[in-house]
Amino acid sequence: MSGRMTPLGPLDIEGIDFAFDDQPDLHAVLARLRARKPYAIVPFAATRAVLLLTDELVRAAFRDETTFPAAPVYAMTTEPVFGKTVLSMSGSQHRASRALVSAPLRRGRVQAYVEPVIEPVVTELIDAFVSRGSADLVAEFTQRFSLLIISRLLGIPVDDETRIQHWAKAMIEYAFSPAAAIDSAQEFTEYVRPLLAERRREPGGDMISMLVTELGEDGEFLSDEEILTFLRMLFPLGADTTTYALGNVLSALLNHPEQLRLVQSDPQQYLQAAIWEGARWEPAVGLLPRACPAETTWHGIHIPPLTPMIFAINAAHRDPAIYPRPDEFDITRNLMPPLSFGQGPHSCIGNWLANTELLVALDLLITRLPDLALDPEHVDLSTITSQVGTTLRGPTALHVTFTPGPRQ
């Protein structure tokens, strides 16, 4: 490269750091920026990032692994605690590893988890509060269901679930308490290592056994280290995301009671539509960080080397060029939002599991909790905020009331 590097353009907004600051009116901020141009230069962790704001740009960026590889960001944010996961791999290594770890998450396999694992976990959690007539659905349901489902899919003894939850929570907090996260990853690894050895000796029907027995295209099985890395990663990638996805759809429905009644009146027709619209209106992964390692001009944007990028899935999902009345939560759109699980080579391999968990959970919650409504004394707590940094978004609490019912 010759001559001096051209710097990134001037900031389009000041006073908000997109790496750290929760923004209560985030959607309005994103809409104002997008009305000016399809991207914005924004403050990001003491430097500047390019924020992509339209459906067209976010979609194209996800598909352009050469310009915006996933590896550099995940090497910093996940590798130290989880090891080298599929997210920080590329090329043929990524394809081979992805094919193997996807096996237990394929559509056909996931359907077989509903009766033995997903329904019992959801029923158990609802049973614990259904007779009370009130609950905080975040503390008592959304934060717990997906973690428990993953624990049970792995065949972890029920008595150890509290320890698993403790380690998972600490691992997820890596950016804020790195030492505690690394200690927890170590403890979790030492805990599951003997389980893994046991499944190698005697495979059963659980997910660890599936990973142990899955044969790759090259005739190789996954190594212990590859399986342990995948298991550590399941908690932030699988449980946290699904927790906030359910929180967001519940928050949207509870704040739009007429649409909640519509789903209750005909779950067959509206359940999936409500989950899709919840994921469009407030995707759990809202602002996904990436990087642009080499200098480029991409879609007319000049980007110097090592520039942080933000794929604003939540802005793309409200792009008025694609969605009429984009700020309205409207389950009758009946549209699958195309970006909530990413796109391209690193698109989510857990989408079937996540969607199935959400369908079962929402179905049982709305059918077992008649007259479900936000508790008027705590409505303010139901708003959606940034979680674990700014990438994820979800409600911190959802205090509800309902007609008490029997345990099942």
Query: Tell me, what amino acid is at 208?
Result: I
Give the CB-nearest residue to ligand HEM: 350
CA triple 232-236-237, angle to 5 deg: 95
Q: Which residue of 51, 273, 285, 362 would you call a contact of ligand HEM, by CB under 6 A?
A: 285
Only segment of 30-38, 109-117, 230-238, 360-368 that touches ligand HEM (CB under 6 A): 230-238
Indicate the residue type of 348: C
Q: Which two tokens stand for residue 203?
A: 């495979």
Site stretch for ligand HEM (CB under 6 A), options 22-30, 197-205, 256-264, 340-348: 340-348
- Roughly what angle, to the nearest 10 degrees, separates helices 224-234 and 178-201? 130
- The DSSP 8-state label assigned to residue 70 in this structure reads S
**Count of residues near ligand HEM by CB under 6 A:** 24
Closer by beta carbon to ligand HEM, 43 or else 247:
247
Q: Which helix (H) or strand (E) holds 333?
A: none
Binding mask 59-78 for ligand HEM (x = CB under 6 A): -----------x--------
Nearest Cα to Cα of residue 288 among 265, 306, 315, 311: 311
**Residues 6 or more apart in contact with residue 238 via CB below 8 angstroms:** 146, 150, 350, 353, 354
Q: Is 250 in the site for ligand HEM (CB under 6 A)?
A: no
- Candidates 13-21, 176-184, 215-223, 342-350; binding stretch for ligand HEM (CB under 6 A): 342-350
- β-pair type (47-52, 307-312): parallel
**H-helix or E-strand containing 240?**
none
| Window 345-384: contact mask with ligand HEM (x via CB under 6 A) | -xxxxx--xx------------------------------
Q: Is 341 in the site for ligand HEM (CB under 6 A)?
A: yes
Cβ proximity to ligand HEM: between 308 and 350 the closer is: 350
Residue 341, exposed/middle/buried by CB under 10 A (0-12, 13-18, 19+)? buried
What minimum distance in Å lies between the beta carbon of 11 and ligand HEM? 25
Q: Per CB under 6 A, does 242 bind ligand HEM?
A: yes
User: Under the criterion CB under 6 A, does residue 284 sit at the interface with ligand HEM?
Assistant: yes
151 forms part of the interface with ligand HEM (CB under 6 A): no
SS (H, E, C) 297-360: EECCEEECCCEEEEEEHHHHCCCCCCCCCCCCCCHHHCCCCCCCCCCHHHCCCCHHHHHHHHHH
Give me the residues that bind ligand HEM (CB under 6 A), please.
70, 86-87, 98, 105, 234, 237-238, 241-242, 245, 284-285, 288, 340-342, 346-350, 353-354
